[in-house]
Amino acid sequence: MSMQETITDNVASPENVLEHIVLDVRKLSKKYRMTANLAAETRQKNNTSKKESRDFWALRDITFQVRAGERVGIMGHNGAGKSTLLKILSRVVLPTSGEATIIGRPTSLLEVGTGFNQILTGRQNVYINASLFGLTRNEIDERMDAIVEFSEIGRFIDEPVRTYSTGMRSRLGFSVAAHLDPDILMLDEVLSVGDASFQQKCLTRMNDLTGHGRTLLFVSHSTGAVRKFCDRCIWLSHGEVIMDGDVQEVCDAYESQMHGVTATFQAKRKTTKIAPITMNDNNSSADKSQGVLGELADGQVAEIVSAQVLDVNDQPAASIKINQPCSIEFIFDVLKPNLRVEPALHFKNEKGEILFVVAFTDVEYTDAINEVGRYKTIISIPKNLLNEGLHFVTLCLVTADPLTRHHILENAVSFSIYEVIGDTVNVARGRYARTLPGGLRPRLEWKTQKSNA
Amino acid sequence: MKKSSQTIIHITPKQKTAFFSVREIWKFRSLLRQMIKRNINSRITNSPLTLVWGFIRPAIMTLAFFYIRRMANADMGQEIPYSLFIFSGLCVWFLFSETTANVAHSLKTDAGLSNKVYFPKILSPIAVLLGRWIDITFIVAAIIAFQMVLSIPIGIEALLIVVIMVMLLLLAFGFGILFSGLFLLHQDFRKIFETIIYLGLFLSPVIFSKEILPPIIQKYYSINPMVGILTGMRGVLFGPEEVDYFSLGVSFVFTVVLIVVGVKTISWALHNFEDQL
Domains of chain A: 70-87+103-258 (3.40.50.300), 264-418 (2.70.50.60)
Please state, in angstroms and as integers, the Cα–Cα distance from residue A449 to each residue in A425, A426, A446, following that order: 21, 22, 10
| DSSP states along A64-124 | EEEETT-EEEEE-STTSSHHHHHHHHTTSS--SEEEEEEES-EEEESSTTTT--TTSBHHH
User: Residue B31: which of A6, A124, A131 has the nearest Cβ?
Assistant: A131
Taking contacts as CB-CB distances below 8 angstroms, the residues of chain B near A119 are: 42, 45-46
Which residues in A lie closer than 8 A to residue B124 (C-beta atoms)? none
Select the residue of B15, B31, B42 nearest A94 (Cβ to Cβ): B15
Q: What is the pLDDT of residue A68?
A: 84
Q: Write the residue in B8, B42, B46 that is nearest to A11 by C-beta.
A: B8
Q: What is the CA radius of gyration of chain A?
A: 27
One digit per residue, the tens of pLDDT, for chain A of length 453 reads 333 444 333 344 444 444 588 889 998 898 887 665 544 544 555 544 444 456 788 888 889 989 888 889 998 888 788 888 988 888 888 888 898 998 888 887 777 767 788 888 888 889 888 888 888 888 899 989 988 988 888 888 898 888 888 778 888 887 887 788 778 888 876 555 556 676 677 767 766 665 556 788 888 877 887 887 788 999 888 888 888 888 888 888 888 777 777 888 888 765 444 444 444 444 444 444 444 444 454 568 899 999 999 999 998 888 888 889 999 999 999 998 888 999 999 999 887 889 999 999 999 988 889 999 999 999 999 999 998 888 999 999 999 888 888 899 988 998 988 887 666 667 777 777 667 788 888 888 888 999 886
For residue A332, the model assigns a pLDDT of 93
Kindly report the CA angle at A331 between A327 and A333, in degrees rounded to 5? Answer: 155
Q: Return the pLDDT at A207.
A: 65
- pTM to 2 decimal places: 0.72
pLDDT confidence of residue A329? 94
Assigned domain for B248 exists: yes
B200 domain-assigned: yes
Give residue B45's pLDDT.
Answer: 85
pLDDT < 70 regions, chain B: 1-6, 15-17, 275-277
Residue A4 has its nearest CB partner, among B8, B15, B38, at B8
- Is the Cβ–Cβ distance between A231 and A66 less than 8 Å? no
| B82 touches B69 (CB < 8 A) | yes
Answer yes or no: do B41 and A133 touch at CB < 8 A: no
CA distance B238 to B147: 8
CA A173 to chain centre: 23
Contacts of A120 in chain B (CB under 8 A): 38, 41-42, 45
Half-sphere exposure for A256 (CA within 13 Å, toward CB) = 15
What is the predicted pLDDT for the residue at A37? Answer: 52
pLDDT at res. A190:
59
Closest-CA residue of B relative to A88 is B11
The set of residues, in sequence order, having a beta carbon less than 8 Å from that of B117 and lying 6+ positions away, is A90, A92, A108, A110, A114, A115, A132, A133
Q: Which domain holds residue B49?
A: 31-276
All residues at 6 or more sequence positions from B270 whose CB lies less than 8 Å from its CB, including other chains: B15, B19, B121, B181, B184, B277
- Which DSSP letter does residue A267 get? P
Query: Does residue B7 fall inside a structural domain?
Result: no
Residue B19 lies in a domain: no
Interface residue B13 vs chain A (CB under 8 A): yes
Q: What is the pLDDT of residue A42?
A: 47
Q: Are strands A404-418 and A389-399 parallel, antiparallel or unpaired?
A: antiparallel
Calpha distance A333→A307 (Å, rounded): 12
User: Taking Cα atoms as reference points, which of A208, A133, A201, A211 lies closest to residue A170?
Assistant: A201
What would you report as the CA-atom Rg of chain B, rounded to the nearest whole angstrom? 21
How close is the nearest chain A Cα to the Cα of B261, in Å?
A: 23
Whether B8 maps to a domain, the answer reads no
Q: Is residue B5 part of a domain?
A: no
Q: How many domains does chain B have?
A: 1
Q: Say whether residue B115 is in contact with chain A using an 8 A CB cutoff.
A: yes
Task: Tell me whether residues A32 and B275 touch, CB distance under 8 A.
Answer: yes
> Domain for residue B166, yes or no?
yes
Residues of B in contact with A133 (CB under 8 A): 117
Longest dimension (CA), chain B: 75
Choosing among B6, B12, B30, B110, which should be mutated to test the A contact, i.e. which has the most A CBs within 10 A? B30
Residue B2 belongs to a domain: no
Determine contact, residues B270/B114, Cβ cutoff 8 Å.
no
- List CB contacts (< 8 A) between A111 and chain B: 116
Chain B residues with beta carbon closer than 8 angstroms to that of A32 = 275
